[in-house]
Amino acid sequence: ALGPKPVIPGAGPAAPAIPLCPGRIRYFKV
């Protein structure tokens, strides 16, 4: 409904994926 994504002049190629870290907390953070 908002139309196509605007093109930002000068924007380079997509950055490499950043690793998802730290990982999930299994219990609680101390």
Residue numbers at the binding site for other proteins (CB under 8 A): 19-30
Smallest gap from residue 28 Cβ to other proteins (A) = 6
As given in the structure block, the two tokens for residue 21 are 């870290």
Residue type, 13: P
Distance CA 22, CA 7 (A): 32
Smallest gap from residue 29 Cβ to other proteins (A) = 8
11 or 30: whose CB is closer to other proteins?
30
Q: How far apart are the first and last CA of the chain?
A: 45
8 or 17: whose CB is closer to other proteins?
17
